[in-house]
Amino acid sequence: MKDLKSILTQVGDIFATEPFLGQPEGLYQPIAYTMGLGGKRLRPTLLLAASHLFGGDMSRLRNAAIAIELFHNFTLLHDDLMDQSPLRRGQPTVYRKWNPNVAILSGDAMCALAWRYMLRYDQNRKDQALECFNETTIGVYEGQQLDMEFEQRNDVIIAEYMTMIRQKTAVLLAGALKIGALSTTAADEEIARLYDFGIHLGLAFQLQDDLLDTYGDTAVLGKQTAQDIADNKKNYLYLRALSEADAAQRDQLLALFATKPQGSEAAEKIERVLAIYNTLGLSAKTNEAIAAEFDEAARCLDAIGVPQPAKLPLMQLTEALFGRKK
């Protein structure tokens, strides 16, 4: 039986040996650049761990692992253009390093490249795996659309936010797990449990992102904290604050999130928002919501009927994510 570390090593090896280059160079360089920026490789790790969970042969899932990571990075590439984000993992985003048209077209090609790897999935239940992959991509787009629509709305409630992050973040984690599991002999009900594990893990992961953005350590994160407040991004903390604020706090929050000051005034805005968040005890409350999702995820994993040692990598991963600082 393997542990998380050995799976991470395997994932690292996969991406260390794939150049993602081709002709014309202008199309593939931004793809290789994006893949070279690194990242946690969380989705391929989940995919391999899911195969391991049900006794599958991880080495045969190399292509699917690459496919899911290519797709994920493609969505970041297009998202960065749509959000006009200048940096990704501390480096210039593709639309800034090249230009918006390069970002659009290389992104499209990157998605097709993901499909090229995915079509090489030569395991059990290939049809189901391909369908899962495609429906996952559609889920992500629907989530991104909701995210963009929420930016224009002032009446988003927490339930809607949870639906949005489920689509935008959680279905891809759950989909990676399912694609890994479909290559094994696991029963459909067991795969469904693993999928739910992925959904709750994904929700926890995104809520944690929101929390770290507001209360994380700048030095550890490698980026400015409270960027969501500066950008008027309605994350979990903001929506939770609105739902628990009194009339005066609510008016203040709405007014602060209607402005986008620069320089020292930006810092002042962040301070004023944080003061309200602190009064409402949002750090603790968000941590509770995160813990609830992690608990739910653990329960799903618990219910899967395989020997305990096979669960070790996913349990270690859950623990590592629960304690993450960036």
Q: Report the residue number, 233 or 324, with the smaller CB distance to its own copies.
A: 233
CA-CA-CA-CA dihedral for 43, 49, 54, 56, to nearest 10: 90
Stretch that binds its own copies, among 109-117, 189-197, 243-251, 307-315 (CB under 8 A): 109-117
Q: According to the binding rule CB under 8 A, does residue 17 interact with its own copies? A: no
Q: How many residues bind its own copies (CB under 8 A)?
A: 34
Is 60 a binder of its own copies (CB under 8 A)? no
Cα angle: 129, vertex 135, 139; to 5 degrees: 140
Give me the least distance between CB of 317 and its own copies, in Å please.
Answer: 28
* Alpha-carbon 62 to chain mean position: 20
- Structure letter (DSSP) for residue 24: S
- Please provide the distance, in angstroms rounded to a whole number, between the alpha carbons at the two ends of the chain: 29
Distance CA 15, CA 36 (A): 9
Q: Using CB under 8 A as the criterion, what x/- string covers residues 144-183 for binding its own copies?
A: xxx-xx----------------------------------
Binding-site member from 78, 166, 168, 311 for its own copies (CB under 8 A): 78
Only one of the segments 35-43, 56-64, 114-122, 181-189 lies at the binding site for its own copies (rule: CB under 8 A); that segment is: 114-122
In the list 81, 179, 237, 314, the residue contacting its own copies (rule: CB under 8 A) is 81
Is 137 a residue that touches its own copies (CB under 8 A)? yes
Distance CA 326, CA 319 (A): 14
As a whole number of angstroms, the distance between CA 35 and CA 114 comes to 12
Closer residue to its own copies, CB minimum distance, 130 or 310: 130
Query: By CB under 8 A, is residue 32 in contact with its own copies?
Result: no
- Are the C-beta atoms of 60 and 180 separated by less than 8 Å? no
Give yes or no for residue 9 binding its own copies (CB under 8 A): no
Looking from the CA of 253 toward its CB, the CA atoms found within 13 Å total 26
Among 16, 127, 258, 308, binds its own copies (CB under 8 A): 127
If one asks whether residue 108 binds its own copies (CB under 8 A), the answer comes out as yes
Query: Count of residues for the chain?
Result: 326
Q: Does 26 bind its own copies (CB under 8 A)?
A: yes
Question: Crossing angle, helix 126-151 and helix 171-182, to 10 degrees?
Answer: 180
Q: Which of 3, 13, 57, 135 binds its own copies (CB under 8 A)?
A: 135
Strand 87-88 to 91-92 pairing: antiparallel
Selected binder of its own copies within 24, 90, 263, 323 (CB under 8 A)? 24
CA dist 216 and 207 (Å) reads 12
Instruction: Compare residues 31 and 270 and give the one whose CB is closer to its own copies.
Output: 31
Q: Assign 87 to helix, strand or coil.
A: strand
98-106, 199-207, 253-261, 290-298 -> range binding its own copies (CB under 8 A): 98-106
Q: What Cα–Cα distance (Å) separates residue 136 from each residue in 75, 199, 326?
A: 12, 12, 25
Contact call for residue 23 and its own copies (CB under 8 A): yes
Distance CA(39)–CA(26), nearest Å, equals 23
Choosing from 3, 141, 185, 320, the residue that interacts with its own copies (CB under 8 A) is 141
Nearer to its own copies, 74 or 294 (CB): 74
Contact footprint for its own copies (CB under 8 A):
23-24, 26-27, 78, 81-82, 100-101, 104-105, 107-109, 111-113, 115-116, 119, 127, 130-131, 134-135, 137-138, 141-142, 144-146, 148-149
